[in-house]
């Protein structure tokens, strides 16, 4: 008698259940047949923290420069640092959740 594979496969990274024939996770995109590389995730987590700090400094510098140049009469804001901060924060949050789930 052969044993049947489980009907439901759970992603080791995010815990989303999938049908038995699934190859990648619908929730996080991780290949279901591979173990997560937690050392790489910790490295990315630290890099995201650094990126958020750099983006926040760029935003603060941009606001300060606007105040100096225009004296509060108007502001020119580049959206690149805001987007950089937003994407870093989203990735940071996802990595934090995955690493907490691993502990």
Q: In this model, does residue 3 exceed pLDDT 70?
A: no
CB 85 within 8 A of CB 59: yes
What proportion of the chain, given as a percentage, has pLDDT over 90? 30
Give the H or E element holding residue 9: strand 8-10
d(CA 92, CA 87): 8
The reply to whether the predicted model has a pTM over 0.85 is: no
Q: In this model, does residue 58 exceed pLDDT 90?
A: yes
CB 88 within 8 A of CB 48: yes
């Amino acid at each position: 008698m052969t044993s049947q594979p489980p009907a439901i496969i759970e992603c080791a990274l995010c815990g989303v259940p999938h049908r038995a024939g699934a190859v990648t996770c619908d929730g996080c995109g991780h290949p279901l047949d591979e173990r997560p590389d937690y050392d790489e995730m910790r490295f990315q987590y630290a890099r995201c923290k650094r990126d958020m700090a750099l983006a926040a400094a760029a935003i603060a510098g941009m606001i300060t420069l606007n105040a100096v140049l225009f004296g509060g009469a108007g502001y020119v804001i580049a959206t690149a640092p805001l987007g950089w901060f937003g994407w870093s924060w989203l990735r940071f949050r996802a990595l934090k959740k995955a690493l907490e789930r691993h502990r």
